[in-house]
Structure 1
């Protein structure tokens, strides 16, 4: 999607956290973080836990990201703009779903490694939401990986789909739904898959309304989605399907270990949210997904 150049994104909740060279990921990556990150990637990442010393942290509030034009020109500003849009959307939509809403505590763009309430994580873990600190984390180099390794077409909406998915986890956390994924079960109809597909559905619901969500002056953050941009979002959803990622990383598909759903399912639930809204995102009732 393209931001309206004069939209005010300055209040977007996003900050950048960088580290000095020589980082050694460690501190014992929390079981919860490993489980949630593995859910996003569809790959067992439990081997990432371990010891090590952490380097100094440098924080930046992304104060240079002020307008939609900044978001169109810079990926970090685009993340801040996406957070402004998502926050405005969920302030209205969450109460309609019966969820008492509050914003995530932060949305952190990190480099190389980051320390969270779920433990320490590295760039290799991909984007994730940590429930204990209610913070979304991403190293934006993940988008290069999504294109080069997993075959996504890329594009701004594809990038923002990832953030909208993680924001959906925050809404699930507030609603008490996220805990359903933590029963240790995997497979095509597991609660882990249902939670992830619901987050995809929430992302689609936001995308459908995004061009109508406005800043405090009434200026819409984003312009209407084009067909090409919509295709980019579906491409990203497909690229992170369990079957696609397992084929790339393992050379075979093992449905019993699914944690996110197939590429087809992820596309279908994004489309459900886009076409029918967040109220249609009940992934727990259907016997088949």
Structure 2
């Protein structure tokens, strides 16, 4: 999606962290392979391990103030996405009976960082950490998504990832993540239901994003186009369990699904897009 150039994204709470050296992480799995086998609460936390690390530096992204900045720079686009999502859920959360408060932080990191869930590297992929209520993304993930797994890319594809992780925050506030933590995997497991619901929440935001205003009343984003929807669906397909398993291990093993198939992820994104967040109860759905 394209930001309105004059929209005020300065309220997007995003920080940036960096290190001189990275955390030592065992294993050689790529970012997407780790994405698949994640099982902790059904969110993207696989690969969080300890290790020695240099002290982190943290900075704000004060240069990201307008929609024009978001259109030109991926880090500013993350700031704009955070501003839009926070405003959307402040409106939508009470409609779902939720006492909404935003994530504690949204951290962009380079190579490695420490979190309330442990230490993470770029190989972890984007994730939401419930203990510190923070979203973590190394934006190099978007290059991996396009280059290795064939997502078409585009701004909405990038913001779909943020909206999905924001959906996990909504689930955490609602107590869904804790209730769904049973360690099971498979096509109808709670792990998959959690992920598909987050996809559905992302679709609900995308459908309404062009109507969500900044504090001056200017919508953050311009109306969505068919091409932008296709970009988001391409990203959802790229992180489907079946597609990733085929690419990384040469075969599909449904019993180990933790995020849902490409078709399911696209379909639930569209469910939210077409019917709104109220239609995102994947836990009552008889067919996923």
Q: TM-score range by the shorter chain?
A: over 0.9
| TM-score, structure 1 normalization | 0.93
Distance in 1 between the 2:48 and 2:220 partners? 39
Instruction: Report the RMSD for the aligned CA atoms in angstroms.
Output: 1.9
Counterparts of 1:188-203 in structure 2, within 5 Å, are: 188-203=187-202
SS in 2 for 1:121: strand
Tell whether the 8 Å contact from 2:33 to 2:245 is kept in structure 1 after alignment: no
Tell whether the 8 Å contact from 2:48 to 2:117 is kept in structure 1 after alignment: no
Q: Deviations over 1:153-206 (max 9, x none)?
A: 000000000000000000000000112332000000000000100000000000
| TM-score, structure 2 normalization | 0.93
Partner of 1:151: 150
CA spacing shift, 1:173–1:49, aligned 2, 3 Å: closer
Partner of 1:2: 2
Partner of 1:140: 139
Distance in 2 between the 1:12 and 1:177 partners? 25
The offset of 1:15, in angstroms, is 0.7
Q: Deviations over 1:100-127 (max 9, x none)?
A: 1111000000000010010001000100
CA spacing shift, 1:38–1:185, aligned 2, 3 Å: farther
Partner of 1:273: 272
Partner of 1:77: 76
The offset of 1:50, in angstroms, is 4.9
Counterparts of 1:115-194 in structure 2, within 5 Å, are: 115-194=114-193
SS in 1 for 2:266: helix
Partner of 1:108: 107
Partner of 1:287: 286
Distance in 1 between the 2:19 and 2:124 partners? 16
The offset of 1:43, in angstroms, is 2.9
Counterparts of 1:164-243 in structure 2, within 5 Å, are: 164-243=163-242
The offset of 1:11, in angstroms, is 0.7
SS in 2 for 1:42: helix
Tell whether the 8 Å contact from 2:145 to 2:235 is kept in structure 1 after alignment: yes
Partner of 1:262: 261
Partner of 1:34: none
SS in 2 for 1:17: strand
Distance in 1 between the 2:222 and 2:48 partners? 42
Structure 1: give runs of 5+ residues left out of the alignment: 29-36
Distance in 2 between the 1:2 and 1:8 partners? 14
Distance in 2 between the 1:15 and 1:49 partners? 20
Partner of 2:42: none
Partner of 1:41: 35
SS in 1 for 2:202: helix
The offset of 1:24, in angstroms, is 2.7
Partner of 1:19: 19
Distance in 2 between the 1:58 and 1:264 partners? 40
Tell whether the 8 Å contact from 1:180 to 1:192 is kept in structure 2 after alignment: no
SS in 1 for 2:37: coil
Distance in 1 between the 2:59 and 2:169 partners? 23
Worse-superposed segment, 38-47 or 172-181: 38-47
